[in-house]
Structure 1
Amino acid sequence: METIELQKKKQSKIKSYLIMLLALLLFIFAIDLLTVAMSQLNNNVAENILSATRNPFVSLFIGLLMTALIQSSSTVTASIVAVVAAGNLTLEQAVPMVMGANIGTTLTSTLVSLSYIMNRKQFKRALSAGILHDIFNIFTVLILLPLEISFGFLSKMALSIAHFFAPDENYMGPIVYNKVFTRPLTEWITETINIPFLTMLLAIFMVFGAIKLLSTSVYRAFVVDSFKEINNFIFKNPYLAFIYGTFFTAAVQSSTVTTSLVVPLVSNKKVSLPKSFPFIIGANIGTTITAAIAAIYKTEAAIALALVHFLFNVFGAMIFLPFPLIRRIPVRLASWMGKKSIESRFIGFAYILLTFFIIPFLLIYFSKD
């Protein structure tokens, strides 16, 4: 019996490895297709994209709303990298969108917490854990966005680093394509469809599907068993939790998967809220690997944007992780929100609607001019 079970597990893992490889190839192809499609959009469409993101706050809330709607910051950031690579979006305009995507991705863990709404004590702990991810990203944006707007803090630093990987002084110009292995198929599909906007939509759906497929296959192959076995051990040390959160999320390419796993642990008192926070900080860094993969074969600006995504989360970690007193601020605020939510269950729903949908939509609508 044990031999049969072992054989089934091995077959399942081999299947997951094959799916993972196919998903990675699909992801690279989809990003290449999206880049080509974006470069072929006419000047009016490009101008509309540029004008919509000239206001950094509108750009921030576009990234937030897009991610909240499709529930994948990896898809949004990878797509933004492709748009920048195509020359339809400048690096400075894209930076706030990436920051917004970081906030939008936290919706999933907050939604997971709502499944505990029938149990007051569990709901309080679960919502606190879900909201903690939101608060961390919101605080990081509040600190780094003004620095970026005023001094180009992240974009200039990222460009100086990106120059070593892709020295290209005219990075703002049209993309000079590198002949990647997917390019013949990309060009054939683009010419066959011959409608850049339709090709762009197809590519976005393919990016989303590839990330979901990759996330699921890696999770089944490497994560599902190990996480159950060592979760009690890793949360005892904040730096160990941070490191594991980083690599765990890099493997599954989804911070929403990892942070959503933390919510049940906190709600059932397996892990305390303060001990879960370093893991969440690490998850934010791990998810930047998707943008890094998307930036392969692209321009200096695209590589710089992937670095911006990484630097944004690294600086967030540097602000909160080393200092217990500062680390307690988001934890206490999240705990307070959890307490308020059990006084009125409506608060949890109102928070989600206002933070992720109503406020971003209204700010985008009234700032469109």
Structure 2
Amino acid sequence: MKQSSIEESKPSPKISTSFIIIQVVALLLVTFIFMLSLELMASAFNLLGRNIIEEIIKATSNPFISLFIGLLSTAIVQSSSTTTSMIVAIVASGALTLESAVPMIMGANIGTTITSTIVSLGHIIDKKAFRKAFAVAILHDFFNILVTLILFPLEYYFGLLSSLSRVVTSQVFGIASGPSTLVKLTVKPLADIVTSLTNQNGLILLILSVFLLFFTIRYLTNLLKKLVIGESQKRMDKYVFGSPTGSLLWGAGLTAAIHSSSTTTSFIVQLVAADKLSIKKAFPFIMGANVGTTITALIASISKSEAALSIALAHVLFNVIGVFIFFPIPVIRQIPVYLARYLGSLTMKNRLVGLIYIILTFFLIPFILIYLSNDNSANSSQKPPIEKVK
């Protein structure tokens, strides 16, 4: 009996050193391709010419349209990391101003929550499990929506995030000069070679850069998920959620490590559905995941301009300010939890509510509002926020 118990308690075999070396080399190679894809994208927008740039500026000059473009594009690709990296590249190319990009970043934050919401639909057969899973998934939605409702007007009228990000950028831009020089010495020459091979065709270059960006983001997420979460996944529910502050930090750290809030929040959905974690305890982790996901845009901005770093920092500030609004005071922290539980209870009565919610929030309402905003902007002489904030 004693021997069998010892055998049962044996730890799982350790990962070999050669495996770790191979994975680290793969990680560095994919990161290099990631930086290359962003460099190619910036070059593509420069080659596409003035007309394309003018169309982008025209489409995003209305902050409401910019917000919903960010939401829709992220909901479609199911990755805020991909969308924000694209935004950084477009800002770096000069095709998009910081003020126009900030609402798009806000929309991307809302759009990325669709993945965990879709994951919750996997429990639709079991009513109780679905109620819990759906509630914690839309908790992520409500947090980002509420933060946007608070910060969007402040950005629109006072340029809060764009001004703050510029101030922070002016203080830290010099620190990024070292990594920036290294990237320019390694990535830019290869980007120039690829550009010449496409005969400086902007459209081909844009398609190639988007493909490489999708590939690297997906591969990075899967690779880092294996390295970071693999062995610790079984112990997470025991050690990660002991205190709200610890849960917040774990959420930020793990999400930054695997470059995907969709992955970490989807994992939380499964824990809540299995009744191993309460919605209340999951919320700080979700807030942390929102902060952690900003690391990808920061990496993407390293070799770019001050404007590119500013929009990446605006993404960080949006999520950090959101945490400061909802995390410190337990009563305020309960507001999104209450809303999520209420809608979760509605889905238990009628599971079609979940499907209708996804269609309305992530697709139908944004499309309608983009149409209405576009129509209003065509019949209004209201100035865009770029002219308001100086």
TM-score above 0.5: yes
1:183 maps to which of 184, 188, 192 = 188
Corresponding residue SS for 2:115: helix
Distance 2:240 2:204 in 1: 46
Query: Does residue 1:294 correspond to 2:279, yes or no?
Result: no
- Structure 2 counterpart of 1:229: 235
Corresponding residue SS for 2:96: coil
Distance 1:32 1:365 in 2: 32
- Structure 2 counterpart of 1:102: 109
Corresponding residue SS for 1:225: coil
Measured after TM superposition, the shift of residue 207 of structure 1 is 1.1
Q: Does structure 1 conserve the Cα–Cα contact (< 8 Å) formed by 2:228 and 2:254?
A: no
Query: Does residue 1:332 correspond to 2:350, yes or no?
Result: no
1:311 maps to which of 317, 342, 345 = 317
Change (3 A) 1:7 1:270: closer
- Structure 2 counterpart of 1:208: 214
Q: Does structure 2 conserve the Cα–Cα contact (< 8 Å) formed by 1:180 and 1:297?
A: no
Between 356-365 and 333-342, report the one with greater CA deviation: 356-365
Change (3 A) 1:299 1:269: same
Aligned-partner residue type, residue 333 of structure 2: R
Change (3 A) 1:137 1:227: same
Corresponding residue SS for 1:187: helix
2:131 maps to which of 120, 124, 131 = 124
Query: Does residue 1:349 correspond to 2:355, yes or no?
Result: yes
Please list, as runs of the form range in 1=range in 2, the aligned pairs for 1:231-246 lying within 5 A after superposition.
231-246=237-252
Distance 2:185 2:369 in 1: 40
1:36 maps to which of 39, 43, 49 = 43
- Would you say how many aligned residue pairs link Structure 1 and Structure 2? 358
- Structure 2 counterpart of 1:170: none
Query: Does residue 1:259 correspond to 2:294, yes or no?
Result: no
Measured after TM superposition, the shift of residue 332 of structure 1 is 0.7
Q: Does structure 2 conserve the Cα–Cα contact (< 8 Å) formed by 1:19 and 1:214?
A: no
Between 72-81 and 28-37, report the one with greater CA deviation: 28-37
- Structure 1 counterpart of 2:364: 358
What is the RMSD computed on CA atoms of the aligned residues?
A: 1.8
Distance 1:8 1:134 in 2: 37
Aligned-partner residue type, residue 189 of structure 1: V
Identity of counterpart residues, as a percentage?
Answer: 46
Corresponding residue SS for 1:224: coil
- Structure 2 counterpart of 1:54: 61
Q: Does structure 1 conserve the Cα–Cα contact (< 8 Å) formed by 2:154 and 2:160?
A: yes
Measured after TM superposition, the shift of residue 18 of structure 1 is 2.6
Distance 1:78 1:101 in 2: 11
Distance 1:9 1:301 in 2: 43
Distance 2:264 2:362 in 1: 20
Distance 1:274 1:301 in 2: 38
Measured after TM superposition, the shift of residue 229 of structure 1 is 1.5
Measured after TM superposition, the shift of residue 16 of structure 1 is 2.7
Aligned-partner residue type, residue 304 of structure 1: S
Measured after TM superposition, the shift of residue 17 of structure 1 is 2.3
Query: Does residue 1:92 correspond to 2:103, yes or no?
Result: no
Measured after TM superposition, the shift of residue 10 of structure 1 is 4.7
Aligned-partner residue type, residue 253 of structure 2: F
Measured after TM superposition, the shift of residue 349 of structure 1 is 0.3
Distance 2:89 2:80 in 1: 14
Aligned-partner residue type, residue 56 of structure 2: I
Q: Does structure 2 conserve the Cα–Cα contact (< 8 Å) formed by 1:255 and 1:284?
A: yes
Measured after TM superposition, the shift of residue 188 of structure 1 is 1.5
Q: Which has the larger radius of gyration?
A: 2
Distance 1:7 1:320 in 2: 40
**Structure 2: any 5+ residue segments left out of the alignment?**
1-6, 175-182, 379-390
Cα distance per residue 1:306-335 (max 9 Å; x no partner): 100000000000001111000101001000
TM-score, normalisation: structure 1: 0.93
- Structure 1 counterpart of 2:254: 248
Aligned-partner residue type, residue 217 of structure 1: L
